[in-house]
Amino acid sequence: MEKTIALIPGDGIGPDVVAEAVKVLDAVAKKYGHKWNYRDVIAGGAAIDKFGKPLPQEQLDICLSSDATLLGAVGGPKWDNVAPEIRPEKALLGLRGGMKVFANLRPAVMWPQLKDACPLKDEIVGNGLDILVVRELTGGIYFGERGTSADGKTAWDTEKYSWEEIERIVRLGFQFAQKRQKHLTVVDKANILNSSRLWRKVAEEVHKEYSDVTLDFLYIDNASMQLVRNPRQFDVIATSNMFGDILTDEASQITGSIGMLASASLGDGTGPGLYEPIHGTAPDIAGKDLANPLATILSAAMLLRYSFKLETEAKAIEDAVNAVLNAGWRTGDIAGSKLAEVKAQGKLVGTKKMGELVVEELNK
């Protein structure tokens, strides 16, 4: 297979971790006989420095004309004081909107080898966690009508969803649940919000087509509590943009390290997907060979799975990561409380070495 992949290293540790994911993608190409043509895209702070804006149209166009996009992360203190309309995060909104990727998939997986890094008690997490959050990404209150009164003393934002916007998200939720534990939880605030009542109505209607999946509903406040109280009750969660934003951060925390979590943002399947680790640019460790590249490497696995339908190759990357962890290799963030022990065993590694270890496993 020959495909074009747009690469957005971005800022901070972005370039460090994307470089390792590329090594892994190259190893996959060599092993399975594929060819990837990479196209570099400048976005975020790097683009503000070079072009004066975070996502020039021609950079977005490179993503749109590629088969998939892999992003590191954007932003950092250097651009904290730029004008609001050119802030680095605008690149993320521009990419999501421009690429029409309306569904954000965030698997919150706790690797059994990294159980130590999980802040929850053993009896709560058991042998591990595996939750998939499907978050609506291009609608709701983040995109709704907003305003501030003339006297500056009142401000408002609007949560607005159409049947179609909800349907495509819950449908994806049901489809993923069918391939997993057949359980979908829709998270909302239907006791108060009209828009949430529509989410419920749509979910119940679409459920008729997926009767093998159990559907239930939770209010957002209860869901946030249940995630730390009994996270193993969840399989797939589907929710709105803002609730998803908050819940996915909570879900990522309970799995341990932010350096392990990948994400995919998908549209209707006719355009390219956007793949990125969920972490930011970690300015405190940027350029120091300290960042964990595994979240980006696992994002590359999602890219192969969802955009190129290469399940074997995606699984090979995940198996290689698993083997590296089984062999005891750790970056600082996932060594956690065992840092001294890991160091003494000579298994504490940097960004580059971690990437090389995954490549070595793939080549076995």
End-to-end, the C-alpha distance of the chain in Å comes to 22
Active-site annotation holder among 3, 90, 189, 338: 189
Task: Rank residues 87 and 189 by Cβ distance to ligand NAD and give the closer one.
Answer: 87
Is 263 among the residues that bind ligand NAD (CB under 6 A)? no
Task: Rank residues 187 and 282 by Cβ distance to ligand NAD and give the closer one.
Answer: 282
Binding-site string for ligand NAD from residue 233 to residue 252, where x marks contact by CB under 6 A and - marks none: --------------------
The verdict on whether 221 is a catalytic residue reads yes
Is 256 among the residues that bind ligand NAD (CB under 6 A)? no
State the burial class of residue 247 (Cβ atoms within 10 Å of its Cβ: 0-12, 13-18, 19+).
buried
**Cα(83)–Cα(150) distance, integer angstroms:** 22
Q: Which of 290, 253, 316 is nearest to 31 (CA)?
A: 316
Is 94 among the residues that bind ligand NAD (CB under 6 A)? no
CB of 296 to ligand NAD, least distance (A): 8
The verdict on whether 38 is a catalytic residue reads no
**Cα(16)–Cα(331) distance, integer angstroms:** 13
Considering CB under 6 A, how many residues would be counted as binding ligand NAD?
22
The verdict on whether 61 is a catalytic residue reads no
Q: Which residue number has the CB closest to ligand NAD?
A: 280
Task: Rank residues 213 and 335 by Cβ distance to ligand NAD and give the closer one.
Answer: 335
Which of residues 23, 106, 279, 330 is near ligand NAD by CB under 6 A? 279
Q: Which of 84, 76, 114, 27 is nearest to 337 (CA)?
A: 114
249 is in an annotated binding site: yes
Task: Rank residues 46 and 170 by Cβ distance to ligand NAD and give the closer one.
Answer: 46
CB of 13 to ligand NAD, least distance (A): 6
Cα Rg of the chain, angstroms: 20
Is 9 among the residues that bind ligand NAD (CB under 6 A)? no
Active-site annotation holder among 32, 38, 142, 219: 142
Is 281 among the residues that bind ligand NAD (CB under 6 A)? yes
Task: Rank residues 198 and 300 by Cβ distance to ligand NAD and give the closer one.
Answer: 300
81 is in an annotated binding site: yes
State the burial class of residue 136 (Cβ atoms within 10 Å of its Cβ: 0-12, 13-18, 19+).
buried
Which of residues 291, 302, 325, 357 is near ligand NAD by CB under 6 A? 291
Applying the rule CB under 6 A, the residues between 304 and 333 that interact with ligand NAD are 333
Is 75 among the residues that bind ligand NAD (CB under 6 A)? yes
Known binding site for Mg(2+): residues?
A: 221, 245, 249
Active site (catalytic) residues: 142, 189, 221, 245, 249
By CB under 6 A, name the binding residues for ligand NAD. Answer: 13, 17, 73-76, 89, 92, 258-259, 276, 279-285, 291-292, 295, 333
